Structure 1
Amino acid sequence: MQQLNLFQESTPVLPVTYYPDFLSQELANELYQHCLKLEWQQNQIRIAGKTMPVPRLECLYGDKGCDYLYSNSVFLKPLTWTEALSNLRDGLRPAVGDRITALTGYNFRIVIGNQYRSGQDSIGWHADTDSSMGLSPAIASVSLGSVRKFQIKPRNGKPTDFWLEHGSLLVMHPGCQSTHLHQVPKTNKVVGTRINLTFRPHTGGGR
C-alpha cells in the first residue's frame, strides 16, 4: 500500500501519514453508497454569540455512551455502528485488505461523518481537542466521493495542502491536535459530494 509519511527521523515536519489508495475503487464506491444512507443531520453551531447552521451535514456512530461535544454548542449522540463502518474500523472481513485499526495500531470508539454537499460546504481552521478523546488522540480520516483540498499547518506556520482522494486515508498521529490546525476550505469550483469519516478514540461509555 502506497503511503506518504511526513515524518523526518529527528523532527517531524507534519505529524500525519497519508495513504492515497487505502481502499480499492470497488470498496470505496460501495462504502460511499452506504454512507449516503447514514442518518445525516444539519446541526446548529453558536459562534461569537450567534447561532447558525453548520456548513455541512454531520452524523456520529460509535460505542454506547460515547457522546461528543464541540465548540461548546454542537452535541452529537452516537448511533449504533453499521456493519460497514464496524468492518472498516475492525477488519472483520480480512479478505478485503487492511482495516484502520490493524493498519494504524490505534483504537477508535467513534466515527464522525461529515458530508460536504458542494464547494460551499466547509470546515474552518481548528484542532480536535474535545476532552472526551483523551490526551493526544490519534484521528484516522477516510475520504469518499469528490476530491477536496485539506490543509494542515503548525499553529504559527504555513499550511500544507493535500487533495484527499476517493478511498484515501489520512492519519493524524498523537500530538497533532496540540501543535497543528486543519481545515477544508470553501471553493468556487463545481465539485460533487464528499463524505469524510473521522475515526476517533473516546474515554467514556462502554462497549
Structure 2
Amino acid sequence: MQQLSLFEVVNTLPVEYCPGFLSSTEADAILAHCKNLQWQQNEIRMLGKPLQVPRLECMYGKPGASYLYSNSVTLDAHPWTYELISLRDRITAFCSHKFDIVIGNRYRNGQDSIGWHSDDEPSMGYRPAITSISLGACRKFSIKPKVKGSKATHFWLEHGSLLLMLPGCQEGYVHQLPKVDNCFLERINLTFRPYGRLK
C-alpha cells in the first residue's frame, strides 16, 4: 500500500487533517462523555445472513432524523447532548460546513473495524462534507479512489484529531478502518454530517 506523509495526503486527496484539533484535556473529557452515550449493537445482512456489526453505533442530532445504510441497518437520532452540540458548533466555526447529525462508532479493540465504503447515503444530500473526530486509541485510516486497481493511502488518526472529508470525497473515494493486531484500547469516532439537504 502507498503510504504518504500527512502533508502529502492533504495535498493529493480531498481531505484535510488537523491533529490536535482538541487538546489532550478536551479530548479526554469528550471521550469520557461519549462512553455514556446510548450505544447499540446492530445486525447487518450479508448475502442474506444476519451478522453482528463489528463495532457499537449510535446517532444524535436533528429531531426525527433516521439514517439507513447497507439497506439493513437503521439509526434513529437521539437528542443532542450539550457536549456534542458544543463540539458541532466548534467544528462548524473551524471548517465552515454545517452539520445536522453525528454518528458514533465505538471500536472496542483492534478487532472492531469497518470495511471499504463511501458515506454516500441519499439522506445526507448532494456532495456532503463529513467531519470525523477521533478519540482514544490511535487507529489506521485508509482511503483510495473508486478506480479498479487504485492504491490506498493510509495514515494514523490520533486522539483529539479532526479529519474533514471534503465535498466530492464520498463520490470519488472509499475508505476503511481495518482491523489491527495488538490493540487492546478502544477508539470512539464521531462523524458529523449534514442531513436532508439538497445542496
1:139-154 equivalence runs, <5 A: 139-154=130-145
- Residue 115 of structure 1: aligned partner: 106
1:193 and 2:186 equivalent? yes
Structure 1 Cα separation of the partners of residues 7 and 126 of structure 2: 25
TM-score norm. by structure 1 comes to 0.89
Structure 2 Cα separation of the partners of residues 140 and 105 of structure 1: 11
1:52-201 equivalence runs, <5 A: 52-90=51-89, 99-156=90-147, 157-201=150-194
- Contact conserved, 1:68 with 1:76, CA < 8 A, in 2? yes
- Residue 36 of structure 1: aligned partner: 35
Letter of the 1:118 counterpart: N
Shift of 1:159: 0.8
**Structure with higher RCO (Cα < 8 A, 6+ apart):** 2
Cα distance, 1:85–1:5 mapped onto 2, change above 3 Å: farther
Structure 2 Cα separation of the partners of residues 7 and 37 of structure 1: 33
> What is the number of residues matched between the two proteins?
190
CA deviations on 1:4-34 (whole Å, 9 max, x unpaired) are: 58455xxxx2000000110001000000000
Cα distance, 1:138–1:159 mapped onto 2, change above 3 Å: same
Structure 2 Cα separation of the partners of residues 5 and 167 of structure 1: 21
Structure 1 Cα separation of the partners of residues 13 and 184 of structure 2: 27
For structure 1, the residue ranges without an aligned partner over 5 or more in a row are 91-98
Shift of 1:113: 0.1
Letter of the 2:176 counterpart: Q
- Residue 196 of structure 2: aligned partner: 203
Look up the SS of the partner of 1:197 in the other structure: strand
Structure 1 segments of 4+ aligned residues over 2 angstroms from their partners: 3-8
For structure 2, the residue ranges without an aligned partner over 5 or more in a row are 1-5
Cα distance, 1:4–1:108 mapped onto 2, change above 3 Å: farther
Structure 1 Cα separation of the partners of residues 47 and 91 of structure 2: 37
Shift of 1:66: 1.4
